[in-house]
Amino acid sequence: MNGSQRYYQRYHFFIACLLPTFYITAQEHHALEGRWDLEVEFEGKTQPSWLEVRHSGHATYVGQFVFAFGSARPISEVMIEDNNFSFSIPRQWEPKGEDMKFKGTIENDVLQGTMIYTDGSTVKWTGTRAPELSHLVNPIETTPYQLFNKNNLNGWHVDRYTNQWLVEDGILRSPMSGANLISDKKFKDFKLVVEFRIPEGSNSGIFLRGRYEVQIADNYGLPVSDIYFGGVYGFLEPNENAAKPAGEWQKYEITLIGRRVTIMANGKTIINDQNIPGITGGALDSKEGESGPVMLQGDHGPVEFKQITISSISGSSSEN
């Protein structure tokens, strides 16, 4: 055995001795770790938000935060001392201002704290642990229900006083930026089939249970992204870009059971039975354990729909 071989043998022995200690340390768990559904008192309203905290290696905590708008924002480090924690996040879609700064405490599995927003204002927030959502064994799909009747807006309402949505020649249209359109009925587990069309440069989306946005956007020919066509906004990236050029009719077939989503876009399975971590920006609320409506995004660009059908899914449950 030469000198080099003896060195590597001693080095590997040294690393092997350290591994058990490192493994035990890395598995220490803090009560803050996990996913949390938040409510933030922001601009005179209770706005839904979401937080995830997890270990990164030996002694560092990192995470993600979803605010009332935008995509999931990475947290480079969460500082934890006993039951207190803090972190900061650079602004995302906010046009100007400072970092967002958070302070909070955890007690009896409930979070509460404050956020200094980018404009310097301080708001309060609370949080509860995100629920486990069961998957279904041997799911049974009901007869599809016509969520859009092709004649009028019966069965739908908007999220503000003004309404730009209209029905013409059997087509549901949002010709300009304005209100979001929300189904009166709420759903838990379902298959949703939607045919839609957008003009060049436009952007819209479909919110499942009013909480998880599947992106609609003019992204034909671009690389895949979780904020592009077919992505679950900020969380799940399609395995290919199945978008057609702007101006053509396109089709989503979306199955959501518990947190697990499968998305077919224009006949191709682009997301297959993947877990959605939490709510996306623009969600109606953060009550993930409850049923919710279908919401069509109308506060971005023009969009048209000619078919919206939904089938409820039932079956015996299993752990997600």
pTM, two decimals, is 0.89
Q: Which of 262, 132, 270 is nearest to 190 (CA)?
A: 262
CATH class of 34-129: mainly beta
SS3 of the chain: helix, strand, coil, percent, to 5: 10, 45, 45
With a cut of 50, say whether residue 15 has pLDDT above it: no
> Which pLDDT does position 57 carry in this prediction?
86
What does pLDDT average to over the chain? Answer: 91
Domain boundary assignment for the chain: 34-129, 135-314
Residue type, 63: G
Helical (H) or strand (E) element with 7: helix 3-26
How does residue 135 score in pLDDT terms, banded at 50, 70 and 90?
confident
Spatial separation of the C-alpha atoms in residues 264 and 195, rounded to whole Å:
12
How does residue 27 score in pLDDT terms, banded at 50, 70 and 90?
low
User: Which tens digit of pLDDT belongs to each residue from 286-304?
Assistant: 999 999 999 999 999 999 9
> Which pLDDT does position 9 carry in this prediction?
54
In degrees and rounded to multiples of 5, residue 49 shows phi and psi of -145, 180
User: Which tens digit of pLDDT belongs to each residue from 204-258?
Assistant: 999 999 999 999 999 999 999 999 999 999 999 999 999 999 999 999 999 999 9
What is the separation, in whole angstroms, between the first and last Cα of the chain? 53
How does residue 319 score in pLDDT terms, banded at 50, 70 and 90?
low
User: Which tens digit of pLDDT belongs to each residue from 28-86?
Assistant: 789 999 999 999 999 889 999 999 999 998 889 999 999 988 899 999 999 999 999 99
> Which pLDDT does position 4 carry in this prediction?
52
> Which pLDDT does position 297 carry in this prediction?
97
> Which pLDDT does position 166 carry in this prediction?
97
> Which pLDDT does position 58 carry in this prediction?
83
**3-class secondary-structure state, position 3:** helix
Spatial separation of the C-alpha atoms in residues 307 and 278, rounded to whole Å:
27
> Which pLDDT does position 29 carry in this prediction?
86
Percent of the chain residues past pLDDT 90, beyond the cut: 81
Contact 73, 315 (CB under 8 A): no
How does residue 7 score in pLDDT terms, banded at 50, 70 and 90?
very low
User: Which tens digit of pLDDT belongs to each residue from 143-169?
Assistant: 999 999 999 999 999 998 889 999 999
Residue range 135-314, CATH number: 2.60.120.560
Residue 93 burial (C-beta neighbours within 10 Å; 0-12, 13-18, 19+): exposed
> Which pLDDT does position 186 carry in this prediction?
97
